[in-house]
Amino acid sequence: PIQSGNVSIHIKESGADSDYDISIVKTTAGVIKNGGVLLDVIAGERVVLDIELNQEFSGALKVVAYEI
């Protein structure tokens, strides 16, 4: 990230006409909240985490991160 702070990461199924939320149920970094992962990030440092979703999935995904 460009700045240090907190981010909320969510996964979405990329559909033809809209995107659908997919809940994250397990993570190796941060904490789970409302189906996403809350992380503290430091400017210029790469963040690596493994996640587990609430369902089997094959297809296109979007990773969305919001500054909080």
pLDDT tens digit sequence for 30-54:
999 999 999 999 999 999 999 999 9
Residue 16, pLDDT score: 77
Residue type, 43: A
* Domain coverage including residue 42: 5-53
pLDDT (tens digit, 9 = 90+) per residue, 2-13?
899 999 999 999
Q: Single out the residue of 45, 43, 42, 25 nearest to residue 34, CA to CA.
A: 25
For 32, counting Cβ atoms within 10 Å of its Cβ (0-12 exposed, 13-18 middle, 19+ buried), the class is middle
pLDDT for res 51? 97
In a domain, 64, yes or no: no
In a domain, 35, yes or no: yes
Task: Look at residue 19 and tell me if it is in a domain.
Answer: yes
> Can you spell out the DSSP letters for 37-61?
EEEEE-TT------EEESS---S-E
Domain assignment present for residue 65? The answer is: no
Q: What total of structural domains would you count in the chain? A: 1
